[in-house]
Amino acid sequence: CGVFAVFSPKDDVATLTYFGLYALQHRGQESAGIATFDHGSINVHKDMGLVSQVFDEDVLQNLTGQWAIGHTRYSTTGSSRVANAQPAILSTRLGDMALAHNGNVVNAGKLREKLLKREHTLLTTTDTEVLALLMADAVNDGKDWIAAAIDACQQCEGAFSLTVATPEGILAIRDPNGIRPLVMGYFGDEHPHDGAGQYVVSSETCGLDIVNAHYFRDVQPGELVWISESGLKSVQWAEPERRLCIFEMVYFARPDSIYHGESLYSYRKRLGNILAEESPADVDLIMPVPDSGIPAAIGFAETSGIPYAEGLIKNRYVGRTFIQPTQMMREAGIRIKLNPLRDVLQGKRILLVDDSIVRGTTSGKIVKALRDAGATEVHMRISSPPVTHPCFYGIDTDSQDQLIAATKSVKEIEAKITVDSLAYLSWQGMLNATQQDTGTFCSACFTGDYPVAIPEMFKRSKLM
C-alpha cells in the first residue's frame, strides 16, 4: 500500500494528496481514499479503483481542509472490497480520526478477538481496522492522540507505517523494525527546522517530488511524529531495531525514490554490476524485462561491456484489467503487455535481466516470445536471490507452494522456463550492493529468517 499526508493550512490539501497518491499508485491499485480535516470536521472519499478513477475535480473540491491523509490499497489481509478501502474512519471522544496503513500486523487475529470481547463490532476484515479501533479505544479511555497512538502501536506486532489525521493534527508512525518505508518533506525554500511549517509525509520520496516538496528525512523505525500548528514533535515510542524490507529496494519501491538516503535506481544498477561479475555469459545483447529489470540490465551491460538493447516494448496502459482476454488472446500470452522487437532479436544471443522470479509464469512466457521472435539463445539473470518464502509483512507474495524456487532447484527452474542458462544474484551480493549497514534488513523471503515471529495459525496458511 501507499500512504500519504499533507499538513499545509493555506493550500488545497486534497489536490496535493491526490497527486501524492498518483505517484504511489504502484504500491496498490485496488482502492484509493483521502480524508481531510476542515476546522475540526472530517471529509472523506474512498472507493475501489485507481486514484484517477476514484477522484475527479468535483470530488476533490468537496474535500476541503487544512490537512489530509491518503491511501492506495493492495490487499494483503482482508478481501478486496469497498468496506476495506482506507483510510479507516472512527469517532472518538476527541472527535473523528482517519488512519491509513501500509504493512501487516501479524498478531491482528488475537487483537481482533480482544476487541470483539469488548463488544466492538468490526466492520471490515482488515488489520488496519484493528489498529484504528485500538487507538480509538485508548482515546476514549482518556488518553490524548499521541498517547493513544503509542498505546495502540505497542500492542501490535509486525509491519506498520501509518499516517493518522485528527482534528488537532497529523501523526506519522513507523513500527520498531521500520519494515515499510515512510519519509517526510516540507514545502518552501527554507527548512522550517521543526517549527510551524508545511509538511508532507509519504511512503516514498517520489510522492514528495510530485508535489514539489523537499525530502527532509525518513521517519525512523519506532518513531512517532506529530505535526500540528505548533510544528513537529518527535517521540521515539519503541526501541528501534532496523529491519528494512530489502524487497522494497530490489523491486517494490519506485527506482526514483530515495530509501534512507540511498537512490534505488543506483542500488539496482549496482545489483546488475555485481550480477555481471558473479554470473557472466557469452551473449550478443543485454536486455531488461521492462520496467522492473531496466536498472539492473544497464548495470550488467556496463560491467560486462556487452551492448544494452531493448527487445520488448511494454504497453504502459495495461493495468489491472477486469476484462479477461479471450482464449485465443490468452495463447498469445504476455503480448498484451510486452511485444518483442523482431528486428532486434533476430539471430541474436540474448541475456535477459529481471529483478525477481516469483511464480515463474511471466518469465516462461517472455522466454518463449523471444525465441518465437528469432532469438537463437536466451539466458536469464535475476538481480536478487531465489524467492523461497512468503512475506507476512505486507508484500503480497503467494503462499510458499506457489513460489517456484521453494520447490525447484535453479537447474529445474532453468528447464521449466526454457532458458539456456539461469543465474540468480547471491544473497551477499544483494546486501553488499547497499550503502547501508547490511545487518539492518529483512530478507526473509530469500532466507526464511523472519525478524518478527509469525503466529502459528498464520504460518500454516502460507508455509508448506
Catalytic residue numbers, as ranges:
1
From the list 111-119, 205-213, 348-356, 408-416, the region that binds ligand 5GP by CB under 6 A is 348-356
Q: Does 406 bind ligand SF4 (CB under 6 A)?
A: no
Any bridge partners for residue 92, and if so which?
Answer: 95
CB of residue 444 to ligand SF4, shortest distance in Å: 4
- Cα distances (Å, whole numbers) of residue 333 to 294, 323, 337, 366: 21, 15, 9, 9
Q: Does 355 bind ligand 5GP (CB under 6 A)?
A: yes
Any bridge partners for residue 405, and if so which?
Answer: none
Give which of 11, 12, 4 is closest to 61, Cα–Cα: 12
Give the whole-angstrom CA distance, residue 91 versus residue 461.
Answer: 34
Q: Which residues contact 411 (CB under 8 A, 6 or more apart)?
A: none
Q: Which does 251 bind (CB under 5 to 8 A by kind): Mg ion, ligand 5GP, ligand SF4, none?
A: ligand 5GP
Give which of 185, 164, 183 is closest to 253, Cα–Cα: 183
245 is in an annotated binding site: yes
Tell me whether strands 67-73 and 31-38 are parallel, antiparallel or unpaired.
antiparallel
**145-155 and 127-140 are packed helices; what angle lies between their axes, rounded to 10 degrees?**
130
Give which of 420, 434, 336 is closest to 383, Cα–Cα: 434
Q: Does 292 bind ligand 5GP (CB under 6 A)?
A: yes
CB of residue 404 to ligand SF4, shortest distance in Å: 16
Q: Give whichever of 159 and 206 is closer to ligand SF4, judged by the CB atom.
A: 159
21 and 72 in contact (C-beta within 8 Å)? yes
Q: Which does 245 bind (CB under 5 to 8 A by kind): Mg ion, ligand SF4, ligand 5GP, none?
A: ligand SF4
Give which of 276, 272, 288, 293 is closest to 370, Cα–Cα: 288
Q: Give whichever of 97 and 382 is closer to ligand 5GP, judged by the CB atom.
A: 382
The 42-61 site mask, x for binding ligand 5GP (CB under 6 A), equals --------------------
**Residue choice 131, 136, 156, 246 for contact with ligand SF4 (CB under 6 A):** 246
Q: Does 289 bind ligand 5GP (CB under 6 A)?
A: yes
Q: Give whichever of 349 and 359 is closer to ligand 5GP, judged by the CB atom.
A: 359
292 is in an annotated binding site: yes
Q: Which residues are documented as binding site? A: 245, 292, 354-355, 391, 442, 445
Residue ranges in contact with ligand 5GP by CB under 6 A: 251, 289, 292, 354-363, 395-397
Residue ranges in contact with ligand SF4 by CB under 6 A: 179, 245-247, 391, 393, 395, 442-445
